[in-house]
Amino acid sequence: MNDATPPDSQAWPDDIYKTLSAFGVRQVSFVPDGGHARLIARVQADPDMQAISLTTEEEGIAQCAGAWLGGDRSALLMQSSGVGNCINMLSMIEICRMPLLMLITMRGEWGEFNSWQVPMGTRTEAALKMSGIHCIRAERAEDVADTVRHAASMAFDGGSALAVLLAQRLIGAKVFVEGGTAI
Residue 104 lies in a domain: yes
pLDDT band for position 177 (50/70/90)? low
9: left (phi over 0), alpha (psi -120 to 50) or beta: alpha
- Mean per-residue pLDDT of the chain: 89
Q: What is the mean pLDDT of residues 143-171?
A: 95
Q: Which domain holds residue 142?
A: 12-171
Residue 6 lies in a domain: no
What is the signed CA dihedral for 35, 148, 120, 76, rounded to 10 degrees? 70
What's the one-letter identity of residue 170?
A: L
pLDDT at 2 over 70: no
- pLDDT at residue 170, rounded to an integer: 87
For residue 82, the domain's CATH number is 3.40.50.970
Query: Is residue 162 within a helix (H) or strand (E), and if so which, with residue range?
Result: strand 161-166
Residue 1 lies in a domain: no
110: left (phi over 0), alpha (psi -120 to 50) or beta: beta
Neighbour-count burial for 167-177, b at 16+ CB within 10 Å, e otherwise: bbebbbbbeee
pLDDT at 112 over 80: no
Q: What is the value of pTM for the model shown?
A: 0.86
pLDDT tens digits along 50-84: 999 999 999 999 999 999 999 999 999 999 999 99
Residue 126 lies in a domain: yes
Residue 142 lies in a domain: yes
Q: How many domains, in total, are found in the chain?
A: 1
- pLDDT at residue 52, rounded to an integer: 98
Residue 181 lies in a domain: no
Residue 182 lies in a domain: no
Residue 160 lies in a domain: yes
Q: What is the mean pLDDT of residues 102-118?
A: 84
